[in-house]
Amino acid sequence: MPTSTFFALPSRLHHKASPALLAEDEARFSALARALDERKEELDRRLAGLRRARGGHGEAALERDLAIHRLTAELRLLQRFGVEVCLGRMVPADGSAPIWVGRRGLATPDGTQLLVDWRAPAAAPFFSATRADPQGLGSRRRYRWSGPHVVDYWDEALTEEALAEAAAAATAAAGAAAAGEAPAS
């Protein structure tokens, strides 16, 4: 089985380690890692420039100091969390692209949304959807992190269609694991 960059599932969870089950997350985590590194570099550059700049007097000095404080707080958050800033993902029932939810929002320079901030209204279904009220979700996946690695995850099917898909994927993964091969995607 190929080595995962972001998943370090214990051997007892080998049935969850199928590349077919993890590939989409691996790709998103790689994009997140790149975007986080780029954002940290940008913040370092901006802070260095602000710290070199003359503070001025009165309101100008206050504005400069507030900007330094705001950028420093953001940089600390990014330094504290790497890709583990990601809490999980939601898969809409309408078949549209999954939405990843994190401790903060993050987009690429071209505007592609990589993470939705957990406090945003768009992330509410991640926390409140149930089988009785799926709130437009087909399923969601929650991650358990230990440092920079996912050590477990939980998939929750919220509709009958998602439940059938999850059962089929689990059966395929279990069969492939028993045969010692990767399941077909």
Encode 135-164 in three state secondary structure: CCEEEEEEEEEECCEEEEEEEEECCHHHHH
User: How far does CA 135 lie from the centroid of its chain?
Assistant: 20
Would you state the pLDDT for residue 99?
97
Rounded CA separation 15/172 (Å): 10
Q: Which residues of the chain have pLDDT under 50?
A: 1-2, 183-185
pLDDT at 184: 47
Classified as helix, coil or strand, 128 is: helix
The pLDDT value given to residue 146: 94
pLDDT of amino acid 3:
57
Run of H or E including 90: strand 86-92
What pLDDT, on the 0 to 100 scale, is given for residue 168? 82
Q: Give buried/exposed letters for 8-26 (b at 16+ CB in 10 A, else e).
A: bbeeeeeebbbbebbebbb
- Dihedral pair phi/psi, residue 82, rounded to 5°: -95, -130
Tell me which H or E stretch contains 88.
Answer: strand 86-92
Structure tokens at 172: 């395929």
pLDDT of residue 179: 66
The pTM assigned to this predicted structure is 0.82
C-beta atoms surrounding 39 within 10 Å: 18
Q: What is the pLDDT of residue 176?
A: 65
